[in-house]
Structure 1
């Protein structure tokens, strides 16, 4: 019997069905947005150099498990490990930590305002997610504001994740958003808003043919 290859539409439908299936009970904790950004830079650089995870971990004197968690944003990077990664990946330390602090330009004393184009950016290219931290550095940290631009079919992945305990409120500016909160799926459109506790396992994606933009207001990490 001859089997015809699946069309791209069929493949997309299969991916959608798999994504919309009941999620696994386990969830990963994302340590912080900055850790996620740093981990992505490490992983992209390692892959660009064609280096296996084991080789880089051995060169840095850390376990493969720890390096894998660092690349996924699940663990913070110590200064010693960051310096070792900088050396192993032949990447200046200042390049690795770029965008982890606001840079308003040399001699700029203003901390209550961040100009357009100067916000911290986190680009998760392989996930199709681009984030900007909109909170000015003078903020006390009670609330952080983010904007996420999600490419068509971009997503956080099949695994559930959670962050720290605290309220998170989102507003869909444009496009579509599929939001899994624990075992419930919400299909959101432009103009819809949502909320959840940051400690609640979740995942999300853009199922549409155009970009999705979402604003998130997140209460600060408890000190």
Structure 2
């Protein structure tokens, strides 16, 4: 089944998630305030998402989707069990914003499955919002480097480094370099069933990409070569 997100694209062919959110919200006769409260996302940030001026993480998108009464597949296409084999260079690529992260979905859906997995291309300067949610996550850096924040600590992760953690620990990450990074992300399906909850501090920030770093503790997992 084709994702609804693939029916609305920008001039570069990227899905325009904001337009889908706004259309669904109006269909449900919800105000921005009502949707923001249901999704536990600030109205200011939600307004930017609807206008494609901000890029939500998949966890935050899952919260918005649940508040609108749809699943994450309303925005993101997934291969069927019959086409679960994906090959390099042939996977569907999508973006929640034409100038932000590009995703390649690796996982498929079948009864009882618990995992979702993506290859993510992260542009220089990108910073996610802070979230805490049920389930667990594994990050593996394929290329480049990122700064991962977990419970107030910061970890510089370079190619070959990995991190496995419980999702209920507040976390965020960013690409602090001037080059794109490629990540392999795998997590339990709970992240895509609206259990992710942004921290109150993050929800109050209209532009998460500009949020200052307060904790300077750095843990280097691997020195750059």
Q: What range is the shorter-chain TM-score in?
A: 0.5 to 0.7
How many angstroms apart in 2 are the aligned matches of 1:199 and 1:121? Answer: 29
Query: Secondary structure of 1:65's match?
Result: helix
Partner of residue 18, structure 2: 43
Alpha-carbon distance in 1 for matches of 2:29, 2:180: 41
Kept in 2, the 8 Å contact 1:170–1:217? The answer is yes
8 Å Cα contact 2:79/2:107 also seen in 1: no
Kindly state the Cα deviation for residue 138 of structure 1 after the two structures are TM-superposed.
4.8
- The correspondence for 2:86, drawn from 94, 109, 114, is 114
More RCO (CA 8 Å, sep 6+): 2
Gaps of 5+ in 1: 1-33, 47-52, 83-95, 104-108
Q: How high is the TM-score relative to the length of structure 2? A: 0.55
Give deviations 1:68-110, integer Å, cap 9, x for gaps.
457552331226xx9xxxxxxxxxxxxx94643426xxxxx83
Q: Which of residues 166, 186, 190 is equivalent to 2:155?
A: 186
Report matched runs for 1:83-162 at 5 Å: 97=74, 99-102=76-79, 110-116=82-88, 119=91, 121-125=93-97, 128-138=100-110, 140-156=112-128, 159-162=129-132
Q: Over alpha carbons, which structure has the higher Rg?
A: 1
Q: Please, which runs of 5 or more residues in structure 2 have no aligned partner?
A: 9-14, 50-55, 194-225
In the alignment, the residues of structure 2 paired with residue 111 and residue 154 of structure 1 have an alpha-carbon distance, to the nearest angstrom, of 32
Change (3 A) 1:97 1:110: same
**C-alpha distance in structure 2 between counterparts of 1:208 and 1:114, whole Å:** 30
Cα distance, 1:61 vs. partner? 1.5
2:164 and 2:34 map into 1 onto residues whose CA distance is 32
Instruction: Report the alpha carbon displacement of residue 211 of structure 1 after superposing the two structures with TM.
Output: 0.7
**CA-based RMSD:** 4.0
Distance 1:162 1:194 in 2: 16
The whole-number CA distance in structure 2 between the counterparts of 1:45 and 1:112 is 26
**Contact 2:124-2:179 at 8 Å conserved across structures:** yes
CA distance in 1, matches of 2:98, 2:145: 19
- 2: CA distance between counterparts of 1:177 and 1:167? 19
Match of 2:69 among 78, 81, 88: 78
Q: Aligned partners of 1:118 and 1:206: how far apart in 2?
A: 26
